């Protein structure tokens, strides 16, 4: 009975591990632009490379040309004052 229980626990842990999202990797400008272009095509919207470069520059806080995981994390949304 203990073996069956342990087997089930290990199988469940494996399923959970596979379902977890992959960690983000640092993004270069070229990779960021390609990702933005693909997103625009997927949504059926117009891709503007100049705006994408501007957005990259705003996110690249340390100006090293690479978006670290921390820089890719979106800022918390501000609540509207009523």
**What pLDDT digit, counting tens, does each position of 2-39 carry?**
888 778 887 777 666 665 566 678 999 999 999 999 99
Count: domains in the chain: 1
Separation of alpha carbons 15 and 17, rounded Å: 5
| Structural domain boundaries enclosing 45 | 26-74
Report helix angle 29-43 to 49-59, nearest 10.
Answer: 130
SS3 28: strand
In a domain, 43, yes or no: yes
Dihedrals phi, psi of 28, to nearest 5 degrees: -85, 170
- pTM greater than the 0.75 cutoff: no
Model pLDDT for residues 46-60, shown as the tens digit of each residue: 999 999 999 999 999
Beta bridge partners of 28: 66
In a domain, 21, yes or no: no
In a domain, 2, yes or no: no
Separation of alpha carbons 15 and 55, rounded Å: 37
């Amino acid at each position: 009975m203990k073996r069956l229980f342990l087997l089930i626990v290990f199988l469940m842990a494996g399923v959970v591990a596979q379902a977890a999202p992959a960690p983000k990797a640092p993004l270069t400008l070229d990779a960021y632009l390609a990702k933005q272009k693909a997103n625009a095509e997927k949504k059926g919207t117009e891709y503007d490379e100049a705006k994408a470069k501007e957005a990259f520059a705003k996110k690249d806080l340390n100006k090293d040309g690479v978006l670290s995981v921390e820089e890719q994390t979106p800022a918390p949304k501000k609540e509207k004052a009523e």
